[in-house]
Amino acid sequence: MSSVQQNVIKHKVGLLNLAAELGNVSRACKVMGFSRDTFYRYRSAVESGGIDALIDANRRKPNPKNRVEEATEMAVAAFAIEQPAFGQVRVSNELRKRGIFVSPSGVRCVWLRRDLESFKKRLLALERHVVETGGVLTEAQVSALEKKQDDDVAHGEIETAHPGYLGSQDTFYVGTIKGVGRIYQQSFIDTYSKWAAAKLYTSKTPITGADLLNDRVLPFLAEQGMGLIRVLTDRGTEYSANQKPMITSSTWPLMTLSTPGPKPIIRKPTAFASASIRLSCKSSTRSRSGARYTGQSKSCKLI
């Protein structure tokens, strides 16, 4: 089942599950925004054909006359396993060299019918083919698998060997409660087993990050006879040991008393004052209209 089909039937399955949990069809329909007639239609469809019966049936009937020949379709599927990294345009060109004429859109249609439309799906088909036939990978197939592995590492996908090998921890802002303040959630997920633990706190400090590990994570792993090797975080301030203490109503008086006074301002010498060349100018006094002023003469010398 594709991801699109899962999203289509997600709300339908949610309606059935909510009605089973509440034990009241009317209340479940009111919460989900459906009518009771729709609920009974969904339930009868599941009872008759299972979950897949909730998928909307396509009213368009397939027309086999518009499809490519069976031999051409088999050639396209085989080439997808032979060269999983090639796109539809390149596949069409390579098959044309072999005497098989199919358009890029035709290649795409074959991939969609055989669930090979993405590079990841073609690699999965290659792995199944190798397991079933026991064949040897070619150089192009090996490079495609290595490229997929490099892309996974570049996008943050990490392979883990066992539970406790790597844990992922992060902090999320939940909201603000009147009289309490901000609420934060410390979350931990084991990347191998997908086991998770979470706690709510009123602060975002390294103490809260360590408290989740000591209170929930490490005791649970110890009960299972395992340990925690490493933890992956986003290097936030709550996971740093150099974070400044948080100012609260209880710590503010202490910080006020221990805060030193202002530092004296020390003026640094300018470039002119630190230069080794000084000018010595003679001053002269002149009398003009009975007023006395001091002026500088133009006779200066270097000393």
Block means of pLDDT (10 residues each) for the chain, length 303 residues? Answer: 61 86 89 88 86 69 78 92 91 93 92 90 89 86 80 64 89 92 94 91 90 92 89 84 51 40 53 43 44 46 47
How is residue 202 annotated by DSSP?
S
pLDDT given at position 31: 84
182: DSSP letter: E
Rounded Cα gap, residues 129 and 136, in angstroms: 10
CA separation, residue 275 to residues 130, 161, 281 (Å)? 80, 67, 17
Is 153 buried (19+), middle (13-18) or exposed (0-12) by CB count in 10 A? exposed
Structural domain boundaries of the chain?
Answer: 3-54, 64-154, 167-239
Q: What is the pTM of this model?
A: 0.40
**C-beta of residue 55 within 8 angstroms of C-beta of residue 46:** no
Encoding tokens for residue 269?
């010498």
Only one residue has tokens 């329909």, namely 29
Amino acid letter, 68: V
Q: Strands of the chain (E only): list them.
A: 167-177, 181-190, 196-201, 231-232, 279-288, 291-302
The C-alpha angle with vertex 151 and arms to 149 and 154, in degrees rounded to 5, equals 115
> What pLDDT score was predicted for residue 265?
57
SS3 136: coil
> Cβ neighbours of residue 196 under 8 Å, at least 6 residues apart?
187, 188, 189, 190
Maximal CA-CA distance, the chain: 121
Q: Quote the crossing angle between the two packed helices 119-133 and 139-154, to the nearest 10°.
A: 130
C-alpha separations of 139 from 77, 127, 136, 145, 189 in Å:
19, 15, 10, 10, 38
Q: State the pLDDT at residue 263.
A: 54
d(CA 124, CA 212): 38
Indicate the DSSP class of residue 238.
Answer: G
Per DSSP, what are the bridge partners of residue 281? 300
